[in-house]
Amino acid sequence: MEHSKLSEHKFKKGKFTTPWNEILKDIGVDNSWCHNRLPEYLWIGLIFDHYGREEGLQKIYQILQCMKNVDYGRILTRFSHILKLSEKEQKILFRDILSIIPKKVLSPLTLIFTYSNYPVFATSFVEGSVEERKEVIITVLDKTMDHQSNCSTDIRFIIMYYLFIIGKLHMPKEQIDLLIKYPHLKHDDMEMRMIRPFIRSMEIGILSVEKVNNEYLNAFWERISEMTECELYYLEFSSDDIKTDIYMEQVHEVYLYLSNLLVKTSPLDNKMLVLLGIATYSYKRAKEVVEHTLFNSISGRSAVRVLVENYIMMKYLLKNEESHEDIWTQYQYYGIGLYKLIVARSRESEERNTNSHVNYQYLEALVNEYKMEEFIDMETSYFDKQGIREKAITVGEKDLYGLYYDYDSSYEHGLWGAIRESSLIKCKNPAHQYHCVPDIEDNQKLMNVWPDCKMMLNRTIQLLDEVYGIPKQLITEEIAIEK
Ligand SMILES: [Zn+2]
């Protein structure tokens, strides 16, 4: 399936809605197939699995005839219907089925529908070891859980076909013709590309008239997930081959040069203090990634985010320097104002945790460092009243925002995408309906953040080079690489 473009999504109140969701609303087609319908029709899947499509279709036709004969079309192909037939009817039907197929084809179902609750069925079909039966069930579930797979579509065809032969399917002749044509075409036939979706939509069409048997479904899934263990599926990325030593030394040399420049030649240059301050914060975050091997971690993402944000801020300040009286001081007092707010709150708060990581006294000293705090404004909106997105656009770095910052923000805010990616592991056992398991053993590793950290450090240094002209020999080949 071709993916829909972002421009095809409808933007409603800050939310992108995919074109499919617009049409399908809350039907949740695949979910209802896998959870609500497949358990009813797994028996058909077992026959297809055993015989293949062509022979399977022949066997199933014969069985459908037997079903029709036993109760004249009162029941449908749902297995819960079959199990609800009277004992006498079940005995006749199962005897007839066993004259068409051997026990072992449906025997896997006896693991779920056991003697204690379904004595007639279990006695008629039980055969083979538990392991053998379990394996077949898992294989067939795996093939049929996707509601669009060829095997699922074959099963869904049978459902419709039975309605047709018992005279309960009412639709235009052209559509009936397509239905009748379906079993005679192979799946790789071009015409099937049109007929398969038609079969599936027809089967969805009958949902509104069919009643879901929750008792049956719950018993099915409970039994089947009890039988098998979780098979956790996670991605592992090694950080063994990441080489950072030489590069970090080169970066250190650059920072040492710039730091000396500030301290020795222009100690009171506020612009330089701000730019180097921001750049040093980025450097320290990147250094933490290296020293604490955060390459494949959640915290690593937080580091990339701040490196991007700092770089955008540096570019923004440089770009808007001319239009402000003193953007460097304004920028400093914007940040100090936010600290003042915290200090003020802490004074008003009765309960203060002495073990807190916030050092209120030190904060207070910082707030009063150059100016009495009474003269410092507190601005709770963004610096210069522009969010980081607008700032990124202003400085021509929209992609850094759209491709990196936004993703890393999901991690910073603990949004579900980040939670799903980092903290939940998929179980690939189809019998468990592909559920998720909390990753409490920390098995799930994430993609390495180092190439992006390095790119952002390099771009930060290159920006400083434009402003201060760093000696050529310090801009090594590795630092000169942009991406
Ligand atoms: Zn599981």
CA of 225 to the centre of ligand 1 (A): 7
pLDDT of residue 368: 85
Both structure tokens of 206: 């009958």
Sign of the dihedral through C-alpha 167, 172, 177, 178:
negative
CA of 9 to the centre of ligand 1 (A): 34
CA distance 205 to 163: 12
pLDDT of residue 230: 84
CA of 215 to the centre of ligand 1 (A): 21
pLDDT of residue 418: 96
CA of 230 to the centre of ligand 1 (A): 3
CA distance 368 to 383: 20
User: How many residues does this entry show for the chain?
Assistant: 483
CA distance 446 to 287: 19
CA of 156 to the centre of ligand 1 (A): 26
CA of 222 to the centre of ligand 1 (A): 12
CA of 18 to the centre of ligand 1 (A): 29
CA of 247 to the centre of ligand 1 (A): 44
CA of 141 to the centre of ligand 1 (A): 14
According to DSSP, residue 3 is labeled P
CA of 276 to the centre of ligand 1 (A): 51
Q: What is the DSSP string of 266-284?
A: -TT-HHHHHHHHHHHHHHH
CA distance 459 to 399: 14
CB of 274 closer than 8 Å to CB of 317: yes
CA of 439 to the centre of ligand 1 (A): 13
CA distance 58 to 189: 20
Both structure tokens of 474: 């310090």
Q: How far is CA 196 from the centre of its chain?
A: 28
CA of 436 to the centre of ligand 1 (A): 7
Both structure tokens of 170: 């009412």
CA of 333 to the centre of ligand 1 (A): 53
CA of 428 to the centre of ligand 1 (A): 7
Do the strands 424-427 and 232-233 form a parallel or antiparallel pair, or are they unpaired?
antiparallel
CA of 424 to the centre of ligand 1 (A): 12
Which residues does residue 425 pair with via DSSP β-bridges, in sequence order? Answer: 437
CA of 59 to the centre of ligand 1 (A): 33
Both structure tokens of 286: 């990147």
pLDDT in 10s for each residue of the chain, 483 residues: 456 666 665 555 555 555 444 433 444 444 588 888 999 999 999 999 999 999 999 999 999 999 988 877 777 889 999 999 999 999 999 999 999 999 999 999 999 999 999 999 999 999 999 999 999 998 999 899 888 899 999 999 999 999 888 888 888 888 889 999 999 999 999 999 999 999 998 888 877 667 788 889 988 988 888 888 888 878 777 777 788 999 999 999 999 999 999 999 988 999 999 999 999 999 999 999 999 999 999 999 999 999 999 999 999 999 999 999 999 999 998 999 889 888 888 888 877 667 888 888 888 888 888 777 777 777 767 888 889 999 999 999 999 999 999 999 999 999 999 999 999 998 888 888 888 899 999 989 999 999 999 999 999 999 999 999 999 999 999 999 876
CA of 138 to the centre of ligand 1 (A): 12
SS3 content of the chain, % helix, strand, coil (to 5): 65, 5, 30
Which residues does residue 438 pair with via DSSP β-bridges, in sequence order? Answer: 424
Look at the block and give the residue holding tokens 């058909």.
44
Cβ neighbours of residue 195 closer than 8 Å, sequence gap 6 or more = 178, 181, 182, 185
CA of 358 to the centre of ligand 1 (A): 42
pLDDT of residue 22: 44
CA of 229 to the centre of ligand 1 (A): 6
Q: In what order do the strands lie in the sheet with 232-233?
A: 232-233, 424-427, 436-438
Q: What is the pTM of this model?
A: 0.71
Both structure tokens of 361: 């006294």
Cβ neighbours of residue 114 closer than 8 Å, sequence gap 6 or more = 122
Exposure class string for 423-462: b at 16+ Cβ within 10 A, else e: eebbbebbbbbeeebeeeeeebbbebbbebbbbbbbbbbb
pLDDT of residue 19: 45
CA of 80 to the centre of ligand 1 (A): 25
CA of 432 to the centre of ligand 1 (A): 5
CA of 310 to the centre of ligand 1 (A): 42
Closest to 262 measured CA to CA, from 439, 59, 468: 468
Which residues does residue 12 pair with via DSSP β-bridges, in sequence order? Answer: 15
pLDDT of residue 343: 87
